[in-house]
Amino acid sequence: MKFTQLLAESAGAMLANPLRTMLTMLGIIIGIASVVLMLAVGDGIRAFINKELAMLGSNLVLVQSDTRKNAGLRPRTGSVQTITLDDAEALNRLPSVAGAAPMLTTFSQISYGNDNNNTQVQGTTPIAFKIRNLRMAKGNPITEVDVASASRVAVLGKKTAEQLFYKTDPIGQTIRIDNQSFQVTGVLDNEGQSFDAGDIGEIVMVPISTARVTLIRTASPRTVQYVVIQAKSAETLNDMVQDVKELLRDRHRMRADDADDFRVVNFGEFAKSGEAIATGLSVALGFIGAISLVVGGIGIMNIMLVSVTERTREIGIRMAIGARPSDVLWQFLIEAVAICVVSGIIGIALSAGLAAAVTATGKFDMSVGFKAIAIATLFSCAIGVFFGFYPARRASKLQPVECLRYE
């Protein structure tokens, strides 16, 4: 029997009882939609993690003094500091280092007119803007001239600029940081969380030399709280970490048995951990969705077995007039696969619509990618074959004489 004829007869059998067919399809539709949505959620979480890590900058490590007083990633003013500007300059000369930015930080009151805000002020050098992917919405970043002359200039985070100036152009305006006058030269375009400043849209950046003179007092005129370092590539990141450790131990004149007086935090490890978490979550969510798909498959097997029983005389008549057992098997198998494939298409369309609706809210980005569609299509066909084979085989094994006697 030709495939087209088998397909037509299968379609006729499905349409003969549309309500039962739709109820059977519903289980697969829900299962496929669940799998696709769970995969989309996993991909959305992975994209969110990667986006947040990208905001930190790529291939970064942070070097800070390793003292008992320091805990976490934010060294506090007043703790013993072992990292200096000279260390940062030496780190910049390493072949494996793309850039090293020394940092001083403090919380200060920022005011303009009657508006004021308490936020983090960072003293740094121009290289920080490059290695940390800091983009300018308007104006200019801190320059080497600003650092050399200890200029009282400031670059504002986007949120801080909006809070202080609203619709007024902040460029060229004078603000006060802890009652010290600073001229605004630029506004950052970046948003999101930073590893050392909370919300990057709220920070204020000034030349490190100016911060040391006017805002932040340190025990030594050359010490810094930490240094942000960027490797030239992801492949050389681990080698760069080793180079940094060797250089600092040598500069600090440490013996072989001495413990490091500094700590290196590798953000590349955070990226790997984030990717592993996102992958594990995608697998877990996909598995949850697959459970509902299996339940739908069991429903198909049940309905197909009922269909075989109801159509026993029909099977006997077809065999009596020349249909082979393989024709009967293929007809029932095609019915099961067709139900699953059509259900899969509807489920994919439903999940795509739901994902678009969630994305439209602006709270979470979800997209149904090619991978999710391919997996859903494969699962649809596999469920149809797996759960439809037993009823189809059972139908093909029936004897024509017994079928014709069936009441």
Last residue of a domain, one of 232, 259, 291: 232
Last residue of a domain, one of 200, 232, 264: 232
Per-residue pLDDT of the chain (407 residues; tens, 9 = 90+): 566 665 666 666 666 777 877 888 888 888 888 888 888 887 887 777 777 666 666 688 889 887 544 444 444 444 567 888 999 999 999 999 999 999 999 999 999 888 888 889 999 999 999 988 888 999 999 999 999 999 999 999 999 999 888 888 999 999 999 889 999 999 998 877 676 667 788 899 999 999 988 888 776 778 888 999 998 887 888 899 999 999 999 998 888 888 888 888 887 666 677 677 777 877 787 787 778 778 888 888 888 888 877 777 777 787 787 778 877 788 778 888 888 888 888 988 898 888 888 888 877 777 777 877 888 788 778 888 888 888 888 877 877 767 666 55
In the structure encoding, which two tokens stand for residue 187, read together?
């506004």
Please check whether residue 136 lies inside any domain of the structure. yes
Last residue of a domain, one of 214, 232, 250: 232
Confidence (pLDDT) at 53: 65
Residues 187 and 129 in one domain: yes
Please check whether residue 394 lies inside any domain of the structure. yes
Confidence (pLDDT) at 174: 92
Q: How far apart are CA 202 and CA 190, in angstroms?
A: 10
Please check whether residue 259 lies inside any domain of the structure. no
Give the closest residue to 213 by CA, choosing from 128, 127, 106, 129: 106
Confidence (pLDDT) at 35: 82
Residue entry with tokens 């590349």: 268
Confidence (pLDDT) at 2: 60
| Domain interval for residue 218 | 60-232
Confidence (pLDDT) at 76: 43
Beta-strand pair 97-112/226-231: antiparallel
Residues 227 and 278 in one domain: no
Q: How far apart are CA 260 and CA 83, in angstroms?
A: 12
Please check whether residue 256 lies inside any domain of the structure. no
Neighbouring residues of 143: CB distance < 8 A, sequence distance ≥ 6: 126
Confidence (pLDDT) at 401: 67
Q: What is the CB neighbour count within 10 angstroms for residue 348? A: 21
Q: How far apart are CA 356 and CA 361, in angstroms?
A: 9
Please check whether residue 254 lies inside any domain of the structure. no
Please check whether residue 71 lies inside any domain of the structure. yes
Residues 92 and 218 in one domain: yes
Q: How far apart are CA 40 and CA 365, in angstroms?
A: 9
Please check whether residue 245 lies inside any domain of the structure. no
Residues 72 and 172 in one domain: yes
Confidence (pLDDT) at 58: 66
Confidence (pLDDT) at 365: 79
Confidence (pLDDT) at 110: 92
Residues 73 and 200 in one domain: yes
Q: How far apart are CA 31 and CA 48, in angstroms?
A: 26
Residues 35 and 91 in one domain: no
Confidence (pLDDT) at 149: 93
Residues 21 and 150 in one domain: no
Residues 92 and 163 in one domain: yes
In the structure encoding, which two tokens stand for residue 396, read together?
């093909």
Residues 160 and 66 in one domain: yes
Residues 215 and 327 in one domain: no
Please check whether residue 265 lies inside any domain of the structure. no
In the structure encoding, which two tokens stand for residue 291, read together?
């459970």
Residues 48 and 76 in one domain: no
Residues 211 and 96 in one domain: yes
Sign of the four-CA dihedral 15, 17, 19, 24: negative
Q: How far apart are CA 206 and CA 149, in angstroms?
A: 12
Overall number of domains in the chain: 2
> What pTM, to 2 d.p., does this model score?
0.62
